[in-house]
Amino acid sequence: MRAGPSQEEVRRHNLGTLLRYVHIHGDTSRAELTTKLGLNRSTIGALTADLAAAGLVTERPPQQTRRAGRPSLVVRPESSQVYAYALAIEVDRLRAARVGLGGRILDRRETDRPRGMQVIDAVQPLAGFIHEMRLDVPEGARYVGGGLAVAGMVRRDDGMVRLAPTIGWVEEPVGEALSEEIGDVGPLIVGNIADVSALVEHSRGAAAGRDNVIYLYGDVGVGGGIIAGGRRVTGHGGYGGEVGHMVVNPKGRPCSCGSRGCWETEIGEYALLELAGRGHLSGREAVLDVVDAAMRGDWAAQQAVRQVGDWIGLGVGNLINIFNPEAVIFGGTLRDVYLVAAAQIRSRLNEVALPACREHVRLRTPELGNDAALIGAAELAFERLLADPLL
Amino acid sequence: MRAGPSQEEVRRHNLGTLLRYVHIHGDTSRAELTTKLGLNRSTIGALTADLAAAGLVTERPPQQTRRAGRPSLVVRPESSQVYAYALAIEVDRLRAARVGLGGRILDRRETDRPRGMQVIDAVQPLAGFIHEMRLDVPEGARYVGGGLAVAGMVRRDDGMVRLAPTIGWVEEPVGEALSEEIGDVGPLIVGNIADVSALVEHSRGAAAGRDNVIYLYGDVGVGGGIIAGGRRVTGHGGYGGEVGHMVVNPKGRPCSCGSRGCWETEIGEYALLELAGRGHLSGREAVLDVVDAAMRGDWAAQQAVRQVGDWIGLGVGNLINIFNPEAVIFGGTLRDVYLVAAAQIRSRLNEVALPACREHVRLRTPELGNDAALIGAAELAFERLLADPLL
């Protein structure tokens, strides 16, 4: 329980709110900011001047206007001058990007990695990408920090990767190792890949404007990023959203976590490939091949997709009963499986989810596609700046 | 996205924060309020004076003090002068109470109801209770409103009971019917019984001070009230928390909701009684008899409790993976089942829940017992007052 803020706290809050607005919505006229933020024109003018003086936004006249009177200046985030590094460690690949304020990807790098990589196998190429990208940073640009998204469970307080069974890591201080390898990277914040992807699909993607959202990220395993009442559900230590380890089939397959019948054992990569008679294969490409084969009419692939779709529908139905969301977004390879199994998923979901809980839910694919993980990782770094822009 | 508040909004917010503090914590010295709310002494003095003038609190010298200097006045909520009516419709009984500011139950009534009651069967006795309790209300006392807790899914906007399968209601405007029957009851806010119970166990009970909490309420079915990051998870329409309809056994028993293998078909009253060889019985008392028999060493009852405990552990494990909570509270008849099956529940939960998600979780029984539903129903009515005490 906390008392209301002081005048100075209110001003800083308003600076953050204005900067966050243009960070998410891009170029915005002062007139629109006045309306959206519920502040008067002179306050908006003063706040904008402060942010411009700090090099965070610029102002310019609108390109054209047909309305009479003095046109409202347009406020623009300084995307090319204020940036963060974004990194992602996924099961099959490593990615890095330089992301400008406003969520614009300015530069990017990517490489495949064989499964079973050690921490050093991830850290060295990522550090190399950052060294490369650094060469093109314009003179005088402001670096705000780095964010790392990992397909695993991350301790909120210090970025320790507690468990990433699909990569094969247990209790690995990945953030620390990466900071050491890069050298002067400054603050590096680590998050779960489904969580950060949910964050950006919520702020600027398929779930913009919706307050109750479930983002599912699938590859070998399945992670969830959940927004309830407009805020991320992270849990006590930051480990919430492990929907892939919801047991849905107590007599089912053993799971890498040590339990049995977890949702991801029925809808993850291994299940799909095995059902399609391709149990000897693995990886993102193999999954996409099954989806393609199903679309082309291959019987075994269609059966596999249908069965996996049935289990997806069951688990999504469970989550809908728990969260009564407005949107469920299918990311990672689940996106592709969803596109070919949508009817099956809907049908099973309708059996499981209570009508009141599911009546307004929309099933969606990510609007930012695979960029969500990178933009989301950058958000981890931008968050500090947005909370208090003049800090 | 919203700009910071004006000075007057800050003052009203602070009045609400102070009143909420004494509402939850009871008598509090001005010195403690200064510390806890982070406001200076003169501000606390002014706020308290405003609340006292509105008849919401009183101030008095502390009963004794050994410290030198002027003792700090104690602020006390006006429990006997400011009150709400609280009503609860459960599967087997109807309850009503008059609850004073501070969450004090001033008067109460209760009656058993046979199962399969019509709305009129619930509404008439509850209205009668209110008429009775009204006779003892002191002259000049201030009525703030009424709250109703129902064992069913409630639409947040208008209190429509969408589905209460264990009572047998579908799309019943219970709040409206009750308001009509009582006459001049004023605003009557309807909520789900597990949600409102979670609310008070979180604010002043077994989960006080914890921000991530799962409250389970069991009778025939199982409902959940969930607190994530300090706030209730209600979902888009207010129907979130239907954990009893999470499918955990796809090949299991048909459920009253039309699906199959829902968690409540494995851990609800019917399953327990059937497993104990008492499938011809029903009701709260029959469940408590099985628990007693298990404690006394009855073999069939012990087997039943063990099997139900196993399924409880599985579902709780699922919820722990999703929410990474600090506490799980077992309410309703689940409280009694938990007390006799705790070892079984823990053991299964440890298999299902990931170590990082469960490492700080405590399993608890409600501290406010069955009063949680009544105090929680009253909170629905007090909420408007606490949000803006001078309204």
pLDDT in tens, B107-128: 999 999 888 789 999 999 999 9
- Find the range with the poorest average confidence among A186-195, A291-300, B45-54: A186-195
pLDDT of B198: 92
Inter-residue contact B3 to A34 (CB < 8 Å): no
Please answer yes or no on whether A238 and B155 come within 8 Å at the CB atom.
Answer: no
Q: What is the mean pLDDT of residues B356-370?
A: 94
Gap between the Cα atoms of B374 and B354, Å rounded:
35
Under the banding of pLDDT at 50, 70 and 90, the label for residue A242 is: very high
DSSP state of A71: P
pLDDT of B107: 97
pLDDT of B187: 82
DSSP bridge pairs for A76: A58
- Residue count (chain A): 391
Q: What is the separation of C-alpha A327 from the centre of its chain, rounded to a whole number of angstroms?
A: 15
Q: What kind of fold does domain A207-364 have according to CATH? A: Nucleotidyltransferase; domain 5 (3.30.420)
pLDDT of A117: 84
DSSP bridge pairs for B329: B215, B364
Gap between the Cα atoms of B270 and B258, Å rounded:
16
pLDDT of A65: 60
pLDDT in tens, B64-103: 666 666 778 999 999 999 999 999 999 889 999 999 999 9
Which of B172, B307, B323 is the mutation pick for testing A, counting most A CBs within 10 A? B323
How many interchain CB pairs under 8 A, A with B?
208
pLDDT in tens, B138-166: 999 999 999 999 999 998 888 889 988 88
Residue A68 predicted with pLDDT over 90? no
- Residue B203 C-beta-side C-alpha neighbours within 13 Å: 22
Parts of chain A belonging to CATH 1.10.10.10: 7-77
pLDDT of B168: 86
Residue A322 predicted with pLDDT over 70? yes
Q: What kind of fold does domain B7-64 have according to CATH? A: Arc Repressor Mutant, subunit A (1.10.10)
Parts of chain B belonging to CATH 3.30.420.40: 83-196+371-385, 208-364
- Strand-pair category, A142-150 with A188-192: parallel
φ/ψ (deg, to 5) at B68? -70, 165
Please answer yes or no on whether B257 and A163 come within 8 Å at the CB atom.
Answer: no
Inter-residue contact B262 to B255 (CB < 8 Å): yes
- A218: three-class secondary structure by DSSP: strand
CATH class of B208-364: alpha beta
The minimum CA-CA distance between B134 and chain A, rounded to whole Å, is: 34
CATH class of A83-196+371-387: alpha beta
**Domain range A7-77, its CATH number among 1.20.1300.10, 1.10.10.10, 3.40.190.10, 3.40.50.150:** 1.10.10.10
Q: What is the mean pLDDT of residues B289-296?
A: 97
The minimum CA-CA distance between B228 and chain A, rounded to whole Å, is: 6
pLDDT of A183: 85
The yes/no answer to whether this complex scores an ipTM above 0.90 is yes
- Nearest in space to A223 (alpha carbons), one of A346, A90, A100, A323: A90
Parts of chain A belonging to CATH 3.30.420.40: 83-196+371-387, 207-364
**CATH placement of domain B83-196+371-385:** 3.30.420.40
Please answer yes or no on whether A234 and B229 come within 8 Å at the CB atom.
Answer: yes
